């Protein structure tokens, strides 16, 4: 028996705004950050979960985490995972905390950290990576991980079970592919940030092409002429007929009609999809954009800011997207992501999890492996940004254009202690970078 005796939160921020890593049309200067929940136990083993933000406000998420972690303190791991669906419902069911959601916003980001910390702990106790726990479960065990409230008009537990049973066929071969690091092809956004100059962009495209990448994503939405210039460079490097795929991402800057007009200006570059063309809450708006762009052969994707499974249900039921992009910790942890993977399988829409952030590739490598091996049986592509992995105890890695399937126990987001201390916010004098003079340019600079 393992008892959860307490927890710790950590506010960790990296000053990525200094070199514009992560910059896009909406987020000009993000500092990639993680709000951690670290569960403590009576056996010494810890569970590490985090959620991702881009700087200011990370402390607000850290403030919310204890409200949820307190609900599992004193309980045994075994009692919590015995009926995971029930535990998840219990975690979202504090009526007073629910009022400041429900199941969205800061309280839901905090939930993602707590739920994933519990998965990390469980995986370490079992001695397996998280994806493998799910891959070793029977279809009915997987169904029991999910809270189906608000889903049953589109996906019942019986339908979910049928999807998983059907996916048993060929599962053994797909599992073998996962063990040989061939289950999850990667795509790169490294060259695509809006704040990068043309030379840096061209250099990074050439470099990533040389590394075996076939899918490349660029930020757009700043201005049409600038975007046409950048996409021209991208197509010069990756070509049109060499099997390389281009994607573009507008990070929500447009109105619905504006998105359609703008994308018509970029159609000759033949992107596979436009990501986040408009507000992530606008189901019907996405449907309009999708219908308007279909004749151009351009798809529509969103999901990194979809707040919960209910919104994904609407997007899918309305046939408003060509690709969905759930986030591992904006949703309420793995259990809610599994619900979304099953919804996507039912509506036959590919899943390309959102990974553009610190710690996100570490999480999503598990999600895409689960999707391929256990749920959809369909190989997708998974975003990989080559930043900040050195801070993780067991970082995500890409080789030969594929993610190396995680083999170490846990959910892979445990950060090295020295990195946590060095980048702690506001941190300790003499230890944290944020206390140094170098940080003043951010701390005292304009908030954009
Ligand atoms: Mg994006």
- Residue 400: pLDDT over 90: no
Where do the DSSP E strands lie in 170-240? Answer: 186-188, 215-219
Q: What is the overall mean pLDDT for the chain?
A: 96
pLDDT band at 296 (very low <50, low <70, confident <90, very high): very high
CATH superfamily to which 3-128+417-444 belongs: Enolase-like, N-terminal domain (3.30.390.10)
Length of the chain: 448
The one catalytic residue in 346, 354, 366, 387 is 354
> Is 354 annotated as catalytic?
yes
pLDDT band at 48 (very low <50, low <70, confident <90, very high): very high
| Nearest partner of 245 among 210, 211, 269, 280, judged by Cα | 269
The one catalytic residue in 124, 215, 219, 290 is 219
- Residue 22: pLDDT over 80: no
For ligand 1, a single-atom ion, the residues with CB < 5 A are: 249, 275
The domain defined by 162-404 carries CATH number 3.20.20.120? yes
Find the 276 Cα to ligand 1 centroid distance in Å: 7
Find the 223 Cα to ligand 1 centroid distance in Å: 17
pLDDT band at 159 (very low <50, low <70, confident <90, very high): very high
Find the 16 Cα to ligand 1 centroid distance in Å: 16
* pLDDT confidence of residue 103: 98
* pLDDT confidence of residue 125: 98
| Alpha helices per DSSP H over 167-222 | 171-179, 198-210
Find the 277 Cα to ligand 1 centroid distance in Å: 10
- Residue 192: pLDDT over 80: no
Q: What is the DSSP track for 355-417? A: --STTHHHHHHHHHHHIIIII------EEE--SSGGGBSS---EETTEE----SSB-S-PBPH
| Nearest partner of 249 among 270, 275, 216, judged by Cα | 275
- Each residue's pLDDT tens digit, 197-225: 889 999 999 999 998 899 999 999 999 99
Find the 137 Cα to ligand 1 centroid distance in Å: 32
- Residue 24: pLDDT over 90: no
- Residue 155: pLDDT over 90: yes
The dihedral formed by the CA atoms of 258, 262, 264 and 267, expressed in degrees to the nearest 10: -140
The residue ranges of every structural domain in the chain are 3-128+417-444, 162-404
Q: Residue 381 CB: number of other CB atoms within 10 A?
A: 24
């Amino acid at each position: 028996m393992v008892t959860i005796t307490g927890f710790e939160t950590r506010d960790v921020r990296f000053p990525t705004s200094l070199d514009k890593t992560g910059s896009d049309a909406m987020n000009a200067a993000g500092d990639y950050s993680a709000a951690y929940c670290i569960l403590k136990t009576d056996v010494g083993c810890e569970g590490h979960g985090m959620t991702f933000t881009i700087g200011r406000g990370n402390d607000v998420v850290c403030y919310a985490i204890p409200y949820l972690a307190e609900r599992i303190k004193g309980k045994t791991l075994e009692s919590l995972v015995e009926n995971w669906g029930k535990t998840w419902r219990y975690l979202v069911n504090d009526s007073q905390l629910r009022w400041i959601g429900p199941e969205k916003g800061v309280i839901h980001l905090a939930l993602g950290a707590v739920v994933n910390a519990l998965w990390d702990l469980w995986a370490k106790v079992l001695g397996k990576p998280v994806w493998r726990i799910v891959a070793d479960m029977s279809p009915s065990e997987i169904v029991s991980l999910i809270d189906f409230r608000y889903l049953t008009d589109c996906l019942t537990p019986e339908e979910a079970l049928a999807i998983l049973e059907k996916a048993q066929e060929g599962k053994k071969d797909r599992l073998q592919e996962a063990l040989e690091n061939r289950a999850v092809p990667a795509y790169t956004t490294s060259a695509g940030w809006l704040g990068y100059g043309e030379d840096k962009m061209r250099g990074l495209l050439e470099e990533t092409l040389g590394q075996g990448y076939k899918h490349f994503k660029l930020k757009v939405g700043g201005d049409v002429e600038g975007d046409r210039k950048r996409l021209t460079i991208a197509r010069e490097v990756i070509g049109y007929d060499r099997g390389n795929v281009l994607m573009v991402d507008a990070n929500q800057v447009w109105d619905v009609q504006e998105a359609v007009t703008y994308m018509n200006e970029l159609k000759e570059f033949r992107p596979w999809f436009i990501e986040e063309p408009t507000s992530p809450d606008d189901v019907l708006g996405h449907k309009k954009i999708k219908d308007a762009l279909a004749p151009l052969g351009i798809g529509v994707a969103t999901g990194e800011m979809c707040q919960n499974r209910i919104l994904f249900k609407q997007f899918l039921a309305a046939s408003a997207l060509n690709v969905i992009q759930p986030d591992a910790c904006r949703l309420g942890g793995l259990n809610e992501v599994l619900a979304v993977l099953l919804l996507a399988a039912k509506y036959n829409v590919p899943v390309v999890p959102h990974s553009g952030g610190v710690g996100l590739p570490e999480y999503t490598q598990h999600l895409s492996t689960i999707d391929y091996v256990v749920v959809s049986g369909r190989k997708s592509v998974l975003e990989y940004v080559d930043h900040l992995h050195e801070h993780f105890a067991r970082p995500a890695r890409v080789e030969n254009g594929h993610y190396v399937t995680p083999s170490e126990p846990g959910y892979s987001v445990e950060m090295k202690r020295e990195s946590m201390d060095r980048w702690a916010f506001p941190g300790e004098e003499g230890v944290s970078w944020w206390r140094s003079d170098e940080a003043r340019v951010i701390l005292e600079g304009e908030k954009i």
